[in-house]
Amino acid sequence: MTLNQAKIAWKEIVKQSTAGKTIVEPSPFKFVYTVYPATGRKFDLANVLSIVQKFTDDALQEFGFITDDSYKVIPIIVYKFGGVDKEKPRVELEIYPLNDIDFNDLPF
């Protein structure tokens, strides 16, 4: 129940953050998620960013920014630590188009 409430709240943040912005498809994309925590406390990037990524990708799909959140649309996802930001802790998402990508050439 708590996770569902968090997902609903996150979806509203994504909606506000993307207001007036569009993504052009069908090009596949590279998504780069960068976390800026409020403290220097040690943490696992995947523990934080995997749930942020899931909630964000689902919201972007629901709002029509992407048609799907599968590897065909987002074949590359990067998690990064951006540094401590006590004043404005956050997660940022950068989206890069991957024009004419050949999925057979990817290293995975």
Segment 16-33, tens digit of pLDDT: 887 777 776 667 889 999
Range of the domain at 62: 27-99
How many domains, the chain? 1
What is the CB neighbour count within 10 angstroms for residue 97?
Answer: 13
Residue 76 lies in a domain: yes
Please report whether residue 58 resides in a domain. yes
73 domain residue, yes or no:
yes
Residue 86: what pLDDT? 96
Q: Pick the range with the lowest mean pLDDT from 14-18, 25-29, 88-92, 94-98.
A: 25-29
The C-alpha atoms of residue 60 and residue 18 are separated, in whole angstroms, by 9
17 vs 104 pLDDT, higher one:
17
For 33, half-sphere exposure in the C-beta direction (CA atoms, 13 angstrom radius) is 20
Contacts of 36 (CB under 8 A, 6+ apart): 82, 83, 84, 85, 88, 89, 90, 91, 92
Average pLDDT for residues 43-65, to the nearest whole number?
90
pLDDT band (50, 70, 90) for residue 34:
very high
pLDDT beyond 90 at 92: yes
Average pLDDT (27-43) is 92
Is residue 107 a part of any domain in this protein? no
Q: What is the pLDDT, as a whole number, of residue 79?
A: 96
Say if 105 falls within a structural domain.
Answer: no
Q: Per the domain annotation, does 19 fall within a domain? A: no
What does the pLDDT average to over 92-104?
76
At CA 3, angle to CA 39 and CA 88, rounded to 5? 25
Evaluate whether residue 66 is within a structural domain.
Answer: yes
